[in-house]
Amino acid sequence: MEQHYDTLLLDLGGVLIDVDYHASARAFQELGFSDFDSLYSKAKQDHLFDGFETGDLSPAEFRDRIRQLFRPDITDPQIDTCWNSMLGSVPQERIHLVERLKERYQVLLLSNTNAIHVPAFEAIIARENGVAHFKDLFHGAYYSCEIGLRKPDAASFLHVLEKHEADPARTLFIDDSIQHVLGARAAGLHAEHLELEKEDVIALVDRLKLLS
């Protein structure tokens, strides 16, 4: 059955911005932190990172915890550089895709992210894509560290939709993490799992005929 949506809810990492989830582990490993990868991955992460993504930990507290886990002499800039190394670029055609989708749908963003990554990826997008205010690309954009809620919890999806009077039953959520897709479906949204080894978001939009 053909679905009709009023609202599209997009993830950021993997969907719009390229992310190498192992790059940070490799960067920390070069400094001698050999087991960082066991703490953080796309599918599962230590409670340290969950707390950072919901704003329960400040950047200073996060860095101090890394020092406790690793070694006390690592500096704030070293931690930030390693942590941000997972962040890639946003191909310009994905910016254009969002702009085209906005002509037909209410387009919202919901990202699990943190207070060190936010200024880093916003700076990348400003520098490489010429977008000075990233959130302005959307009808509404929400970061977990700012709203205190993170995917896949139902409250995170419903919080965003309620802000924009969006009906979950007429909303399509797109994310590259299956646990977030399942969480969205449990909250009453339609949801598509973007399998990055098979297609990117542009191909998914074409396959679903969202702009046809």
Q: Which of 121, 140, 136, 109 is nearest to 19 (CA)?
A: 121
Residue 40 scores a pLDDT above 70: no
Q: What is the mean pLDDT of the chain?
A: 93
Between 76-84 and 117-129, two packed helices, what is the crossing angle to 10 degrees?
A: 60
Q: Is the peptide bond before 152 cis (omega within 30 degrees of 0)?
A: yes
SS3 at position 17: strand
Residue 43 scores a pLDDT above 50: no
Residue 6 scores a pLDDT above 50: yes
163-182 tens-digit pLDDT: 999 999 999 999 999 999 99
Residue 69 scores a pLDDT above 50: yes
Q: Which two tokens stand for residue 112?
A: 């699990």
For 23-84, the fitting CATH number among 1.20.120.450, 3.30.450.40, 3.40.50.1100, 1.10.150.240 is 1.10.150.240
pLDDT band for position 2 (cuts 50, 70, 90) = low
HSE of 168 in the Cβ direction (CA atoms, 13 Å)?
Answer: 16
Residue 45 scores a pLDDT above 70: no
d(CA 50, CA 7) in angstroms, rounded, equals 27
Chain centre to alpha carbon of residue 109:
8
The set of residues, in sequence order, having a beta carbon less than 8 Å from that of 19 and lying 6+ positions away, is: 13, 86, 87, 88
Burial classification of residue 160, based on how many CB atoms lie within 10 Å of its CB (0-12 exposed, 13-18 middle, 19 or more buried): buried
The CATH class of the 7-18+90-207 domain is alpha beta
Number of neighbouring beta carbons within 10 Å of residue 63: 20
d(CA 200, CA 89) in angstroms, rounded, equals 14
**pTM over cut 0.85:** yes
The boundaries of every CATH 1.10.150.240 domain in the chain are 23-84
The boundaries of every CATH 3.40.50.1000 domain in the chain are 7-18+90-207
The set of residues, in sequence order, having a beta carbon less than 8 Å from that of 108 and lying 6+ positions away, is: 7, 8, 9, 10, 138, 139, 140, 141, 142, 160, 161, 164, 166
Q: Is 160 within 8 Å of 9 (Cβ atoms)?
A: yes
